[in-house]
Amino acid sequence: MKIRELITLGVFLGLSGGIIVRARPSCYRHDEEKQGRPKFYALRVVSEKNVQNAKDSPGVPDGRYAEILPGGQLVLLMEKKLYPFPSIGWNPEGGVGLADSGSVVGKGGADFSLEGWFTTQDTQDKQHSAWVPLAVSSTGFCFWPLSSAGVNMIRITNLGTKSLFVDAVIGYGMEAERK
């Protein structure tokens, strides 16, 4: 898949009914248990721009927050790769839609975007990478199966005029983890 196709798919996802690129306050939530699903967390900060205490965001939720200032960005590497869940209509938390691949634990501003760094190969085995918006749900975020390899880098951008506080980014696994 070429970069242009990734961008087109990202725009399509953003304009699709029920999928929101800009996060709502309800998706930016306090940690809640996802019954029967293994969890993993952000491992380290890859890059930061206009962020205070960025090193407080990796790891389990602990009440210490990285502050993303207006216009700031925080890029985190996850412990494991995030994968899309099997199908539309199946949701282990109940309801219809894709199951969450992860969630953001924090407080503060509600106007932010989430993106994943996706790498794909075209038919000539040339790799292409691009930031693609993640679909935000009322309980976290998910994505369509763009790459069978999953995604392990998440970018959080503060689009608002108030600070955004991030305690942790959580990934949710399945019973049979992919290798």
Question: Which tokens sit at 148?
Answer: 């069978």
Longest dimension (CA), the chain: 47
Answer whether 114's CB lies under 8 Å from 3's CB. Answer: no
Question: Are 78 and 169 contacting, i.e. CB atoms less than 8 angstroms apart?
Answer: yes
Give the CA count within 13 Å in the CB-facing half-sphere of 43: 9
| pLDDT, greater one: 130 or 54 | 54
pLDDT in tens, 72-105: 999 999 999 988 865 454 444 555 556 788 999 9
R_g over Cα of the chain: 15
Q: What is the pTM of this model?
A: 0.75
Check if the beta carbon of residue 72 is closer than 8 Å to that of residue 172: no
Most confident of 86-90, 117-121, 153-157: 153-157
Q: Are 151 and 118 in contact (CB under 8 A)?
A: yes
Q: pLDDT-based confidence at 150, cuts 50/70/90?
A: confident
Secondary structure tally for the chain: helices H, strands E: 1, 10
pLDDT score of 14: 45
DSSP secondary structure letter of residue 24:
P
- For the chain, give the percent of residues with pLDDT over 70: 64
pLDDT at 49: 98
**Per-residue pLDDT for 63 more than 80?**
yes
